[in-house]
Amino acid sequence: MAEDITPHAVSRLRSARLARSVKPFLARGGPRGGPRGERCAGCRLRPSHCLCALRPTQPTRAGVCLLMADIEPLKPSNTGWLVADVVQDTFAFGWARTEVDPALLALLADPQWQPYVVFPGEYAAPERVVHAVAPAADAGRRPLYILLDATWPEARKMFRKSPYLERFPVLSLLAEQVSRYQLRRSTRCDHFCTAEVAALCLELGGDTRAAQTLEAYFDMFTHHYLQAKHQLPPDLESPAHQALRALGAPATAR
């Protein structure tokens, strides 16, 4: 279980969001035979399918900034949580149209970072669109990938109504792969979930091992989530488990 794991940015945002709730958030798919919605605090899965002991971390040159729609931190299927598990320099902020967290503005102004808004280029002015990040040898600043963690309609609204992001380049990914996300499927096969987008960004920026670790961890989370949903035990020798072990990704108790 998760008692000895220090909460990361998404976990802290979840706690803050729960503290503001006027009624409890009840996730769908609570386990039978136990309290409705009983889940591990560290991985949001049913205790019988807990992933906390397998939580990996990898050093990265890049950081990730998650701008999260209101209830995203509360959803057990949210994959921004997985990004924060793997990438230590992950920052998470709730998004609101009428106000901006001062800590977010301070992060975007920090000279160590070069922010990139990760979004399809068709929605941005052509002069803002880039398809690559500066390589480590040439970059004076570390890339900071800004991901809009929301449903697709919400993400488009966030992109249009966040003027503080307009001065940054828009990183438009040109991936040809089809999303493997099985938890909350988009109606468009070229829309990736947050963990997939983060992995593609890490790969693009040269953080290859971290990208591979996040991909394997995402697959393992999906396996545990769906096995729990169907009341089946997790297969600890699944391809995802084997891939993560092969990468030698260390577990962490941050």
Say which DSSP state 58 is in.
Answer: B
| C-beta neighbour count of 38 within 10 angstroms | 13
Map tokens 């929301």 to a residue: 150
Q: What is the pLDDT of residue 2?
A: 45
Structure-block tokens of residue 229: 């949903």
Sheet holding 142-149, edge to edge: 90-94, 63-68, 142-149, 113-118, 170-171, 129-130
Q: What is the pLDDT of residue 173?
A: 87
Task: Give the residue ranges of the chain where pLDDT is below 50.
Answer: 1-3, 25, 29-35, 189, 253-254
Q: What is the pLDDT of residues 89-104, one digit of tens each?
A: 999 999 999 999 999 9
- Say if residues 91 and 64 touch (Cβ distance below 8 Å): yes
Q: What is the pLDDT of residues 27-71, one digit of tens each?
A: 554 444 344 568 898 898 999 999 999 999 889 999 999 999 999
Domain boundaries, the chain: 9-17+40-231
Reported residue count of the chain is 254
Q: What is the pLDDT of residue 19?
A: 86
Handedness of CA 15, 198, 247, 177 (dihedral sign): positive
| C-beta neighbour count of 238 within 10 angstroms | 15
Q: What is the pLDDT of residue 26?
A: 53
